[in-house]
Structure 1
Amino acid sequence: DGAAPASIYGRVKRDAEQAAVGFADRVPTTIVRPPMVFGEGDTSVLKIYRSALRGLHVVPTLRTSRVSLVHAADLAQALVAALRTGERVTPGAPAGQGVYYVAADETPTYGELGRWIGESLGRARVRVVRLPRGVTFAAAAMSEAVGRLKDTPRVLNLDKYREATAGDWTCDAGKARAQLGFAPAPLTDRLAQTALWYRAQGWLPA
C-alpha cells in the first residue's frame, strides 16, 4: 500500500524508508512494517495492562477502530526470515516490492483489546470508557504544553492524538505468511505470556 502517514512519527518512518531505498542499489534492502509492538520488557503497552488490571480501559475516541499488533518474538522471527529470504527493494520498483507487513492475525477493536488484556490478567470485567475527540484533544494539548515547559517528552501529545483518532490501524500480513513463512502465535496467547512476564518481574502485582 502507498504510505500515507497520519502523524509526524509516521512521516519520519516514511522518510527513513525512502532514504533506505536510495541505497538499495548498493545495499540489499528489505522493509518490514510492524504495527503496535508489545511483549516482555515493553513499557508502553504496560500502561494498558496496569489500567486493565484496575478494571478500566480508556478509548480515546467515540469511534470503533480496529488495531493490529505484533509480539516482539513474532516480529523477530519475521525480521530473520526477511533477512534470509525476503524480497529486496530496487530503485524504481513497483510500490510494495520488498515491503512486508507483519502482525498477528487478530484485529480487535481498541475496546476489545482492553478486555482481552484484562482476561490475560484474570480480570473478569474491564470497563471500557470512550472519550469524545474534543476531550482527548484537550488532554493531549495540555500534556504537550506541560512537557514543553518541563522540557521532558510526554507519552500523550498532539502527535499521539492524531494517531489515536485516525481510524483503523490494521495491516495484512498475508505476503509475509506466503513468502517468509510468517506464522505468529495467537494474540491472546501472546497477551497472556506478556502478562506473566510483567508479574514475574514485579511490574504488575501477582
Structure 2
Amino acid sequence: MNSNNFDKIALITGISGFVGSHLAQQLVAQGWQVRGLIRASSNLRWIQDLPITLYQCGLTNIESLEGPLQGVTHVFHIAGVVKANSLQQFEAGNVATTATLLQAISKYNKNIQHIVVTSSLAAAGPTVPNLPLIEAMAAKPVNWYGKSKWAQEQVCLNYTQQQQQQPPLPITIIRPPVVYGPRETDVLLFFKLIKRGILLQPTGNKQVLSLIYIDDLVNGLIAAAQSKNTINQTYFLAHNQIYIWHDLAKTTAQILQKKIITISLPRSFIKTMAIIAQGWAKLRGRTATTLNTQKIIEMEQAAWICSPAKAYNDFNFEATTSLASGLKTTLNWYQQHGWL
C-alpha cells in the first residue's frame, strides 16, 4: 500500500463489472479511497468485501450524483452498454450517461484532478493486418457499439473545451481492444469450446487482433489518471503483440492439454444464426445475445489492431503480461470457480 495515495479519492462507475471490480481492487491495494456507483440490480460479488463506499444511483440524473462526487479527486468512467438491440439503446447507455456524468462533475466538483473515460477500439474502427491503428488516424466505426463509443468520445472532447464560463475538464480517453482475464464472460464461450476440443470459426477466417490482459489494463488506467501528460488525450492500451484467433485457441489448448479440431462454418450460416438469435431475443424483450448481427459486422473485418506506442511515450505504459501467462491465470481462475 502506498501511503502517498491516502488523499486520492476515486469514483468508479461500473464498479461491480469485470473491469470496474478489478480497478477497485487495485486502487484499494494502492491506498486510494474508493467510491462506486451501483444499480439496484448490480451483483456485488466481486467487491462486497472491499473497504469501499457504494452509492445506488444511475447516470440519468445529475442531482443524484452530487453526493458521490463531493471531494472526489479522480473519476474512472467504466460503465457502459456492450449489448443492445438498437443504436438508440447503445447511445442511451454510452453517450447520454457520459454527458450526464460530465455535466454533474462540472456542476458539483470544480476541483476534479482527472477523469478517465473508457471507450473502445471499436470507436476507431477496423484496419488492415499490416497497419495497427494510431490515435491520429480518422475514426471509422462500423457497428452500433463502435458508433456509440465514438459519439461518447465527442461528448468528452466537448467538455475539454471552455463550456459557458465553466473550466474545461481534465479528461483522458482510453480505447482498449479485447480484454481478457478472470471474471470476464464474453470470451468464456470460446474457452468452453476449446475445452471440448473444438474451434469454431468462419470459413477463411484470418482476422488479426490486439489484446490486453485485465491487470495490464487496470494498471494503465491508473497510470493515465496520475499523469498530467495524458490530460485531453486519447490512447490505445494494448499488448504490442498482434494475434490471430488460432493463437488463442492453440495456447488455450496447450494449457488445458487438449487437442482441437477446427470446424469452419460458412459465413452465410453464421449470419443466419445471428439474425435468428437477435430476433428471438428482441421478441422476448431481452438484450441481444453474444451472437448478433452487430457482432457479425465485427467478425467480418480483417483486423482489429492498434499501437500502444503513444501511451508508452506519454506515460510509460507497457502491457507486460504475455498471452501464455494471462491465459493460464484466467483459465485457472475459471476452473477454480466452476466456470470451465
Instruction: Decide which moves more: 74-83 or 148-157.
Output: 148-157
What residue is the counterpart of 2:332 in the other structure? 196
What residue is the counterpart of 1:95 in the other structure? none
What residue is the counterpart of 1:73 in the other structure? 215
Identity across matched positions, percent: 28
Q: Distance in 2 between matches of 1:79 and 1:62?
A: 36
| Contact 1:68/1:171 (8 A) holds in 2 | yes
From 176, 186, 194, the equivalent of 2:322 is 186
From 149, 155, 164, the equivalent of 2:290 is 155
Unaligned runs of 5+ in 1: 90-97
Q: Distance in 2 between matches of 1:202 and 1:163?
A: 30
Q: Distance in 2 between matches of 1:28 and 1:129?
A: 49
1:132 aligns with 2:266: yes
From 172, 177, 195, the equivalent of 1:53 is 195
From 300, 307, 313, the equivalent of 1:165 is 300
1:120 aligns with 2:263: no
Q: Distance in 1 between matches of 2:308 and 2:142?
A: 21
Q: Distance in 2 between matches of 1:160 and 1:61?
A: 16
Between 1 and 2, higher relative CO (CA 8 Å, sep ≥ 6) is seen in 1
Shift of 1:132: 2.5
| Contact 1:62/1:131 (8 A) holds in 2 | no
What residue is the counterpart of 2:113 in the other structure? none
Q: Distance in 2 between matches of 1:100 and 1:121?
A: 34
User: SS state of the match for residue 230, structure 2?
Assistant: coil
What residue is the counterpart of 2:231 in the other structure? 88
What residue is the counterpart of 1:7 in the other structure? 143
User: SS state of the match for residue 190, structure 1?
Assistant: helix
- Give the TM-score normalised by the residue count of structure 2: 0.55
Q: Which runs of 4+ in 1 moved over 3 A?
A: none
Shift of 1:61: 4.6
Shift of 1:151: 1.6
Shift of 1:121: 2.0
Unaligned runs of 5+ in 2: 1-136, 162-167
Query: Cα distance 1:162–1:61, how it changes in 2: closer, same or farther (>3 A)?
Result: farther
Tell me how many residue pairs correspond in the alignment. Answer: 195
The structure with the largest strand share of the pair is 2
